[in-house]
């Protein structure tokens, strides 16, 4: 599959597509048959899948809210922590297309909602922002072993499966 919005929707992570199309059914059946966690369809179903793709439309990333007809507000707690604190507690992929889609909302917009702490992105980039969210994780706590040698005594040998 090559449609990012459809892929995100099929994974159950947001976005919108029409589930009642023959193309959606073809992808679900073929993917279940292959069973490797990816999304597939038979080549002869390409025209139906193309019609399915047309039913897909970008939405705000899962958990985010709509600011207006064009923009979504970032609500993801880890992404917000990264954006507001500069990565001191959370790390995210800083070169992701989803990260570059996010910007600070101009002060005073939306009846004063935007005050410098609100971040937004264009709705059409929702699937990129959602993918970016998956890169965010808690920063390892201080006191780690950075620069220290790690003992190999308890290393488990590889096994042949």
pTM of the model as a whole: 0.61
Per DSSP, helices labelled H in the chain are: 4-10, 22-34, 46-54, 77-85, 97-101, 109-112, 126-133
The parent domain of residue 74 ranges over: 60-138
Alpha carbon distances (Å) from 122 to 52, 69, 70, 112, 133 = 23, 9, 6, 19, 15
pLDDT tens, position by position, 49-98: 999 999 987 788 889 998 988 999 999 999 999 999 876 789 999 999 99
**What's the mean pLDDT in 149-154?**
34
Pairing state between β 14-16 and 57-61 = antiparallel
Question: Do the domain assignments include residue 150?
Answer: no
pLDDT tens, position by position, 9-54: 787 766 778 888 899 999 999 989 998 888 899 999 999 999 999 9
Statement to judge: residues 131 and 65 lie in one domain: yes
The answer to whether the CB of 16 falls within 8 A of the CB of 56 is yes
The answer to whether the CB of 127 falls within 8 A of the CB of 158 is no
Give the number of domains in the chain: 2
Statement to judge: residues 53 and 41 lie in one domain: yes
pLDDT tens, position by position, 95-116: 999 999 999 999 888 888 888 8
Question: Do the domain assignments include residue 88?
Answer: yes
CB atoms within 10 A of CB 19: 12
pLDDT band with cut points at 50, 70 and 90 for residue 156 = very low
């Amino acid at each position: 599959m090559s449609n990012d919005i459809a892929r995100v929707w099929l994974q159950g992570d947001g976005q919108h597509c029409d589930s009642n199309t023959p193309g959606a059914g073809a992808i679900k059946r073929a993917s279940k048959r292959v069973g490797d966690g990816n999304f597939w369809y038979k080549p002869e179903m390409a025209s139906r899948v193309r019609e399915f793709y047309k039913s897909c439309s970008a939405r705000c990333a899962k958990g985010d809210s709509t600011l207006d007809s064009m923009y979504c507000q970032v609500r993801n707690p880890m992404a917000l922590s990264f954006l507001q604190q500069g990565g001191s507690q959370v790390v995210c992929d800083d070169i992701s297309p989803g990260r570059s889609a996010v910007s600070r909302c101009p002060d005073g917009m939306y009846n004063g909602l935007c005050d410098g702490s609100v971040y937004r992105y264009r709705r059409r980039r929702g699937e990129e922002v959602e993918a970016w969210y998956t890169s965010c994780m808690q920063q390892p706590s201080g006191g780690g072993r950075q620069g220290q040698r790690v003992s190999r005594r308890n290393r488990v040998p590889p096994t042949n499966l």
